[in-house]
Amino acid sequence: MTSLVFRQFICRSDNYGLLLHDDKSGETVAIDAPDADKIARQLDAAGWKLTHIFTTHHHGDHVEGNLALQKRYGCNIIGPRAEAKKIPGLDRDVAGGDRFTWQQREVQVLDCPGHTLGHIAFYMPSEDAVFAGDTLFSLGCGRVFEGTMEQMHHSVNQFAALPPSTRVFCGHEYTQSNARFALAMEPGNATLTQRATEVDRLLAEGRMTCPSTIGAELATNPFLRTGSSEIRRNLGMERATDAEVFAELRERKNAFR
Ligand code: ZN
Ligand code: FE
């Protein structure tokens, strides 16, 4: 089986657009649809036709292009069952624990409540890739809008169980501002300092900071490092549970400037 061709680009101001193309069948998946025109232009430039959209959650910056793209390409939209009514043009709903096949490749659905209640992620073992939407970002995680801190902690932790080599594709290019917060929490983390320097360089060169990998995130992302003694010391939470440290980190990130 040949590997898929990935095409990633920035949409709107900081959303990631992402296309996965299978050369053999000619099928192409968009992970979310932040901007129909931008996605169509990328498809045209590559000479690809859109056959599917995998939707992670109902927010406008992830579904706004659904209907226009569906009208233009007749693509099939697969998205979260718990948000079925809020996903424009949804053809097929899926939920955590579901597995489906796209072009002989297994896609595993992960339930990720927290940012929104029905948020899902898509994991493709054959591509060593997970599409995390607004749950896990590089060096950060999504804001908790609809769920509880406990739910979000559990959702983010699911990613820690994936193989370290797994490539993490996120919904937004937030890595630079996430790095500032992460460094404030764990200034002694040398791997994090290196990553922050790399992020500045990539962006200065007009490049993107994602995909990251699960291994890199485990070493640098404060929301996956609630056991770090440096983070705990900085928060004055040496004896707290991981869930408590996670919630405190999320609150502080909300207020961080
Ligand atoms: Zn969102
Ligand atoms: Fe978003």
5 closest CA partner among 35, 36, 45, 62: 45
For residue 224, give the DSSP letter: G
CB 216, CB 194: distance < 8 Å: no
| Per-residue model confidence (pLDDT) at position 84 | 98
24 residue type, one letter: K
Buried b (16+ CB within 10 A) or exposed e, 63-74: bbbbebbbeebe
Tell me the CA–centroid distance for residue 154 and ligand 1, in Å: 18
What is the 15 CA–ligand 2 centroid distance (Å)? 7
Q: What local confidence, expressed as pLDDT, does residue 257 receive?
A: 87
Mean pLDDT, 10 residues at a time, the chain of 257 residues? 91 97 97 98 98 98 98 98 98 98 97 98 98 98 98 98 98 98 98 98 98 98 98 98 98 96
Q: What is the CA(75)–ligand 2 centre distance, in A?
A: 22
What is each CA distance from 74 to 27, 28, 195, in whole angstroms?
A: 12, 12, 41
- Measure 2 CA to ligand 1 centroid, in angstroms: 32
Tell me how far the alpha carbon of residue 97 lies from the centroid of ligand 1, in angstroms. 22
Residue 128 confidence (pLDDT): 97
User: For residue 13, which ligand has an atom nearest its CA?
Assistant: 2
Q: Ligand 2 mean position to 111 CA, how many Å?
A: 17
Which residues place a Cβ less than 5 A from the ion ligand 2?
61, 134, 171
The pLDDT of residue 3 is: 83
> Residue 235 and residue 230: Cα distance in Å, rounded?
9
Largest CA distance in the chain: 56
Burial of 108 (0-12, 13-18, 19+ CB in 10 A): middle
**What is the domain-level CATH number for residue 165?**
3.60.15.10
pLDDT value, residue 2: 72
Give the H/E segment covering residue 123: strand 120-124
Can you give the residue range of the structural domain that contains 146?
Answer: 4-255
Number of domains composing the chain: 1
C-alpha to C-alpha distance for 106 and 44, rounded to whole angstroms: 27
